Amino acid sequence: MFRHLAIATLSGTILGVSLIAQVRTVPVREATVLVPKGSIYYKTVGRGQPILIVHGGPGMDHRYLYPHLVDLARDHRLIFYDQRGTGASQVKLTDKTVTIEQFVSDIDAVRRHLGINRINILGHSWGGLLAVHYTVRHPLNVRSLMLINSSGLTGEAQQEFFKNLDSMRSDEEKEEIKAIDKDPAYIAGDLDLYKRRSELQIKPYFFDLEKLPKLAYEVSPLTVKNNEQVRTWIWRQLLQYDLRPQASRIRAPTLILHSDHDVIPQSVAEETNDTIPRSTLVIMKDNGHYSFVEQNKEFLEEVRKFLKTVRGP
Protein backbone atom coordinates (compact mmCIF):
# COMPACT_ATOMS: atom_id res chain seq x y z
CA MET A 1 0.00 0.00 0.00
CA PHE A 2 1.42 3.39 -1.03
CA ARG A 3 0.61 6.85 0.29
CA HIS A 4 2.48 10.12 0.81
CA LEU A 5 3.59 11.96 3.94
CA ALA A 6 4.02 15.74 3.99
CA ILE A 7 7.05 17.06 5.88
CA ALA A 8 7.14 20.82 6.45
CA THR A 9 10.21 23.02 6.90
CA LEU A 10 10.44 26.75 7.65
CA SER A 11 12.57 29.39 5.92
CA GLY A 12 13.02 33.19 6.05
CA THR A 13 13.82 33.42 9.77
CA ILE A 14 15.65 36.82 9.80
CA LEU A 15 14.15 39.40 12.21
CA GLY A 16 10.58 40.29 11.28
CA VAL A 17 10.64 38.44 7.94
CA SER A 18 7.62 36.19 7.71
CA LEU A 19 8.24 32.45 7.75
CA ILE A 20 7.45 30.54 4.58
CA ALA A 21 6.49 26.91 4.99
CA GLN A 22 8.12 24.54 2.52
CA VAL A 23 6.28 21.25 2.28
CA ARG A 24 7.90 18.13 0.87
CA THR A 25 5.94 14.98 0.28
CA VAL A 26 7.71 11.67 0.71
CA PRO A 27 6.35 8.29 -0.35
CA VAL A 28 5.11 5.94 2.36
CA ARG A 29 4.60 2.23 1.80
CA GLU A 30 3.20 -0.34 4.24
CA ALA A 31 3.32 -4.09 3.58
CA THR A 32 4.20 -7.44 5.12
CA VAL A 33 6.84 -10.08 4.47
CA LEU A 34 5.92 -13.73 4.84
CA VAL A 35 8.14 -15.67 7.26
CA PRO A 36 7.76 -19.16 8.75
CA LYS A 37 4.71 -19.24 11.07
CA GLY A 38 3.55 -15.75 10.15
CA SER A 39 4.41 -12.35 8.66
CA ILE A 40 6.53 -9.29 9.46
CA TYR A 41 5.04 -5.80 9.00
CA TYR A 42 7.18 -2.97 7.64
CA LYS A 43 6.75 0.67 6.61
CA THR A 44 9.08 2.60 4.30
CA VAL A 45 9.21 6.40 4.25
CA GLY A 46 11.21 8.68 1.97
CA ARG A 47 13.88 8.20 -0.68
CA GLY A 48 17.65 7.78 -0.71
CA GLN A 49 20.13 5.51 1.02
CA PRO A 50 18.06 3.05 3.10
CA ILE A 51 18.18 2.98 6.90
CA LEU A 52 16.58 0.01 8.67
CA ILE A 53 15.23 1.07 12.08
CA VAL A 54 15.37 -1.65 14.75
CA HIS A 55 13.17 -0.82 17.73
CA GLY A 56 13.84 -1.66 21.36
CA GLY A 57 12.02 -3.76 23.91
CA PRO A 58 12.04 -6.68 23.66
CA GLY A 59 8.28 -6.74 23.22
CA MET A 60 7.72 -3.19 21.90
CA ASP A 61 7.05 -2.12 18.31
CA HIS A 62 8.24 0.63 15.94
CA ARG A 63 5.59 3.20 16.86
CA TYR A 64 7.48 4.90 19.70
CA LEU A 65 10.38 5.69 17.32
CA TYR A 66 8.48 6.80 14.25
CA PRO A 67 7.56 10.43 15.08
CA HIS A 68 11.04 11.20 16.41
CA LEU A 69 13.04 9.71 13.52
CA VAL A 70 10.79 10.42 10.52
CA ASP A 71 12.58 13.72 9.81
CA LEU A 72 15.49 11.62 8.49
CA ALA A 73 13.18 10.72 5.58
CA ARG A 74 14.12 14.06 4.03
CA ASP A 75 17.42 12.50 2.95
CA HIS A 76 17.02 8.74 3.38
CA ARG A 77 14.62 5.89 2.82
CA LEU A 78 13.61 4.81 6.31
CA ILE A 79 12.45 1.25 6.90
CA PHE A 80 10.51 0.74 10.13
CA TYR A 81 9.35 -2.75 11.04
CA ASP A 82 7.72 -4.56 13.95
CA GLN A 83 9.56 -7.45 15.55
CA ARG A 84 7.65 -10.71 15.60
CA GLY A 85 4.60 -10.86 17.84
CA THR A 86 4.34 -7.06 18.24
CA GLY A 87 2.85 -4.13 16.36
CA ALA A 88 1.36 -5.65 13.22
CA SER A 89 3.76 -8.60 12.86
CA GLN A 90 1.64 -11.69 13.38
CA VAL A 91 3.77 -14.74 14.14
CA LYS A 92 2.81 -17.82 16.13
CA LEU A 93 4.70 -17.39 19.41
CA THR A 94 6.52 -20.22 21.15
CA ASP A 95 9.89 -20.45 22.87
CA LYS A 96 11.15 -21.88 19.55
CA THR A 97 9.92 -18.99 17.38
CA VAL A 98 10.87 -16.14 19.73
CA THR A 99 14.66 -16.38 19.59
CA ILE A 100 17.48 -14.01 18.70
CA GLU A 101 18.23 -16.18 15.66
CA GLN A 102 14.65 -15.80 14.42
CA PHE A 103 14.73 -12.03 15.02
CA VAL A 104 17.94 -11.85 12.94
CA SER A 105 16.28 -13.88 10.18
CA ASP A 106 13.33 -11.47 10.16
CA ILE A 107 15.64 -8.51 9.53
CA ASP A 108 17.20 -10.31 6.60
CA ALA A 109 13.78 -11.29 5.27
CA VAL A 110 12.80 -7.60 5.14
CA ARG A 111 16.12 -6.64 3.50
CA ARG A 112 15.84 -9.34 0.84
CA HIS A 113 12.17 -8.58 0.21
CA LEU A 114 13.06 -4.94 -0.52
CA GLY A 115 15.95 -5.96 -2.78
CA ILE A 116 18.60 -4.08 -0.80
CA ASN A 117 22.17 -5.38 -0.97
CA ARG A 118 23.83 -3.28 1.76
CA ILE A 119 21.88 -1.40 4.38
CA ASN A 120 22.46 1.16 7.10
CA ILE A 121 21.06 -0.12 10.39
CA LEU A 122 19.96 2.05 13.32
CA GLY A 123 19.03 0.19 16.49
CA HIS A 124 17.77 1.60 19.79
CA SER A 125 18.30 -0.10 23.17
CA TRP A 126 17.70 -3.86 22.73
CA GLY A 127 17.36 -3.04 19.04
CA GLY A 128 21.00 -1.91 19.04
CA LEU A 129 22.11 -5.26 20.40
CA LEU A 130 19.92 -7.04 17.83
CA ALA A 131 21.55 -4.91 15.11
CA VAL A 132 24.97 -6.11 16.30
CA HIS A 133 23.74 -9.72 16.22
CA TYR A 134 22.60 -9.18 12.64
CA THR A 135 25.87 -7.51 11.62
CA VAL A 136 28.11 -10.28 12.95
CA ARG A 137 26.01 -12.87 11.09
CA HIS A 138 25.65 -10.90 7.85
CA PRO A 139 28.64 -8.52 7.71
CA LEU A 140 28.54 -8.07 3.93
CA ASN A 141 24.95 -6.81 4.11
CA VAL A 142 25.69 -3.88 6.45
CA ARG A 143 26.87 -0.53 5.11
CA SER A 144 26.93 1.21 8.49
CA LEU A 145 25.75 0.61 12.04
CA MET A 146 24.18 3.10 14.47
CA LEU A 147 23.79 1.95 18.08
CA ILE A 148 21.51 4.36 19.94
CA ASN A 149 21.52 4.03 23.75
CA SER A 150 22.24 0.39 23.05
CA SER A 151 22.31 -2.66 25.29
CA GLY A 152 25.75 -4.11 25.94
CA LEU A 153 27.63 -6.95 24.30
CA THR A 154 27.65 -9.33 27.29
CA GLY A 155 25.28 -10.92 29.76
CA GLU A 156 27.20 -9.12 32.51
CA ALA A 157 26.26 -5.80 30.89
CA GLN A 158 22.58 -6.79 31.05
CA GLN A 159 22.90 -7.63 34.74
CA GLU A 160 24.54 -4.25 35.35
CA PHE A 161 21.65 -2.56 33.55
CA PHE A 162 19.06 -4.41 35.66
CA LYS A 163 20.82 -3.43 38.90
CA ASN A 164 21.03 0.18 37.80
CA LEU A 165 17.36 0.24 36.82
CA ASP A 166 16.28 -1.33 40.11
CA SER A 167 18.18 1.31 42.10
CA MET A 168 16.36 4.11 40.28
CA ARG A 169 12.85 3.00 41.30
CA SER A 170 11.11 3.59 44.62
CA ASP A 171 9.82 0.65 46.64
CA GLU A 172 6.26 1.78 45.93
CA GLU A 173 6.88 1.77 42.17
CA LYS A 174 8.44 -1.70 42.32
CA GLU A 175 5.48 -3.07 44.24
CA GLU A 176 2.98 -1.56 41.80
CA ILE A 177 4.82 -3.08 38.83
CA LYS A 178 4.80 -6.49 40.53
CA ALA A 179 1.08 -6.18 41.24
CA ILE A 180 0.32 -5.28 37.63
CA ASP A 181 2.45 -8.18 36.36
CA LYS A 182 0.30 -10.60 38.37
CA ASP A 183 -3.02 -9.01 37.41
CA PRO A 184 -5.03 -11.37 35.15
CA ALA A 185 -6.37 -8.38 33.23
CA TYR A 186 -2.83 -7.23 32.38
CA ILE A 187 -1.83 -10.74 31.35
CA ALA A 188 -4.89 -10.82 29.09
CA GLY A 189 -3.82 -7.57 27.42
CA ASP A 190 -5.65 -4.79 29.28
CA LEU A 191 -4.65 -1.51 27.59
CA ASP A 192 -5.01 0.75 30.64
CA LEU A 193 -2.84 -1.51 32.79
CA TYR A 194 -0.28 -1.74 30.00
CA LYS A 195 -0.09 2.06 29.81
CA ARG A 196 0.25 2.38 33.58
CA ARG A 197 3.00 -0.23 33.69
CA SER A 198 4.76 1.52 30.81
CA GLU A 199 4.68 4.83 32.71
CA LEU A 200 6.26 3.21 35.77
CA GLN A 201 8.73 1.28 33.63
CA ILE A 202 9.89 4.24 31.56
CA LYS A 203 10.21 6.89 34.29
CA PRO A 204 13.87 6.08 35.19
CA TYR A 205 14.80 6.22 31.51
CA PHE A 206 14.37 10.02 31.34
CA PHE A 207 16.73 12.73 32.57
CA ASP A 208 14.09 15.46 32.18
CA LEU A 209 10.76 14.01 33.35
CA GLU A 210 8.88 16.96 31.83
CA LYS A 211 9.76 15.52 28.41
CA LEU A 212 8.41 12.05 29.19
CA PRO A 213 4.94 12.85 27.72
CA LYS A 214 6.61 13.42 24.33
CA LEU A 215 7.09 9.66 24.12
CA ALA A 216 3.31 9.18 23.94
CA TYR A 217 2.28 6.98 21.02
CA GLU A 218 -0.56 4.74 19.90
CA VAL A 219 -0.12 1.28 21.38
CA SER A 220 -0.77 -1.76 19.19
CA PRO A 221 -3.20 -4.31 20.71
CA LEU A 222 -0.83 -7.08 19.64
CA THR A 223 2.04 -5.40 21.50
CA VAL A 224 -0.11 -5.16 24.64
CA LYS A 225 -1.08 -8.81 24.35
CA ASN A 226 2.41 -10.25 23.69
CA ASN A 227 4.77 -7.77 25.35
CA GLU A 228 5.33 -9.73 28.54
CA GLN A 229 5.87 -13.10 26.85
CA VAL A 230 8.23 -11.80 24.15
CA ARG A 231 10.25 -9.85 26.70
CA THR A 232 10.56 -12.86 29.00
CA TRP A 233 11.71 -15.26 26.30
CA ILE A 234 14.29 -12.87 24.84
CA TRP A 235 15.72 -11.66 28.16
CA ARG A 236 16.38 -15.27 29.16
CA GLN A 237 18.66 -15.53 26.12
CA LEU A 238 20.49 -12.32 27.00
CA LEU A 239 21.71 -13.21 30.47
CA GLN A 240 24.52 -15.56 29.44
CA TYR A 241 26.35 -14.56 26.30
CA ASP A 242 29.45 -12.70 25.13
CA LEU A 243 29.28 -11.07 21.70
CA ARG A 244 32.63 -9.26 22.00
CA PRO A 245 34.75 -11.76 20.00
CA GLN A 246 32.38 -11.54 17.01
CA ALA A 247 31.81 -7.78 17.37
CA SER A 248 35.55 -7.16 17.30
CA ARG A 249 35.48 -8.36 13.67
CA ILE A 250 32.83 -5.85 12.53
CA ARG A 251 34.25 -3.65 9.78
CA ALA A 252 31.23 -1.44 9.12
CA PRO A 253 31.62 2.18 10.30
CA THR A 254 29.71 2.41 13.57
CA LEU A 255 28.18 5.28 15.53
CA ILE A 256 27.67 4.60 19.23
CA LEU A 257 25.41 7.34 20.57
CA HIS A 258 24.80 7.22 24.30
CA SER A 259 23.67 9.59 27.07
CA ASP A 260 25.29 10.68 30.31
CA HIS A 261 22.16 9.85 32.33
CA ASP A 262 21.15 6.66 30.53
CA VAL A 263 19.87 3.80 32.67
CA ILE A 264 22.32 1.70 30.63
CA PRO A 265 25.65 2.75 32.18
CA GLN A 266 28.05 4.78 30.07
CA SER A 267 30.72 2.15 30.72
CA VAL A 268 28.65 -0.26 28.58
CA ALA A 269 28.85 2.10 25.60
CA GLU A 270 32.57 2.60 26.21
CA GLU A 271 33.16 -1.16 26.15
CA THR A 272 31.25 -1.45 22.87
CA ASN A 273 33.35 1.39 21.45
CA ASP A 274 36.55 -0.37 22.56
CA THR A 275 35.35 -3.61 20.92
CA ILE A 276 34.15 -2.48 17.47
CA PRO A 277 37.18 -1.29 15.45
CA ARG A 278 35.65 1.46 13.27
CA SER A 279 33.38 2.96 15.90
CA THR A 280 32.84 6.52 17.12
CA LEU A 281 31.39 7.20 20.57
CA VAL A 282 29.23 10.27 21.14
CA ILE A 283 27.90 11.03 24.64
CA MET A 284 24.93 13.40 24.77
CA LYS A 285 24.86 15.56 27.88
CA ASP A 286 21.85 16.03 30.18
CA ASN A 287 20.00 13.25 28.41
CA GLY A 288 18.48 9.88 29.17
CA HIS A 289 17.76 6.59 27.41
CA TYR A 290 15.37 8.15 24.88
CA SER A 291 17.91 10.61 23.50
CA PHE A 292 15.89 11.19 20.33
CA VAL A 293 12.96 12.39 22.47
CA GLU A 294 14.75 14.59 25.01
CA GLN A 295 17.11 16.26 22.52
CA ASN A 296 15.68 15.47 19.10
CA LYS A 297 17.42 18.23 17.14
CA GLU A 298 20.86 17.38 18.53
CA PHE A 299 20.22 13.66 18.03
CA LEU A 300 19.30 14.10 14.36
CA GLU A 301 22.35 16.29 13.81
CA GLU A 302 24.67 13.58 15.16
CA VAL A 303 23.06 10.89 12.99
CA ARG A 304 23.26 13.04 9.85
CA LYS A 305 26.85 14.00 10.60
CA PHE A 306 27.80 10.33 10.89
CA LEU A 307 25.96 9.28 7.72
CA LYS A 308 27.86 11.90 5.72
CA THR A 309 31.10 10.07 6.59
CA VAL A 310 29.83 6.71 5.31
CA ARG A 311 31.20 5.90 1.88
CA GLY A 312 30.57 3.18 -0.64
CA PRO A 313 27.50 1.61 -2.28
Domain ranges across the chain: 2-307
Convert the pLDDT of each residue in 16-44 to its tens digit.
333 333 446 778 999 999 999 899 999 99
More confident residue, 257 or 16: 257
Name the CATH code of domain 2-307 (choices 3.40.50.1820, 3.30.70.270, 3.90.79.10, 3.50.50.60).
3.40.50.1820
Which residue pairs, CB below 8 angstroms and at least 24 apart, start in 28-35? 28/2, 28/3, 28/4, 29/1, 29/2, 29/3, 30/1, 30/3, 31/1, 32/88, 32/89, 33/106, 33/109, 33/110, 33/113, 35/84, 35/91, 35/105, 35/106, 35/109
Single pTM value for the model? 0.89
Q: How far is CA 167 from CA 162, 163, 170, in A?
A: 9, 6, 8
More confident residue, 240 or 118: 118
Q: Mean pLDDT across the stretch 191-213?
A: 90
Instruction: Give the separation between CA 80 and CA 61, rounded to whole angstroms.
Output: 9
Q: Mean pLDDT across the stretch 120-146?
A: 98
% of the chain residues with pLDDT over 70: 92
Q: How far is CA 307 from CA 47, 121, 145, 235, 242, in A?
A: 15, 11, 10, 31, 28
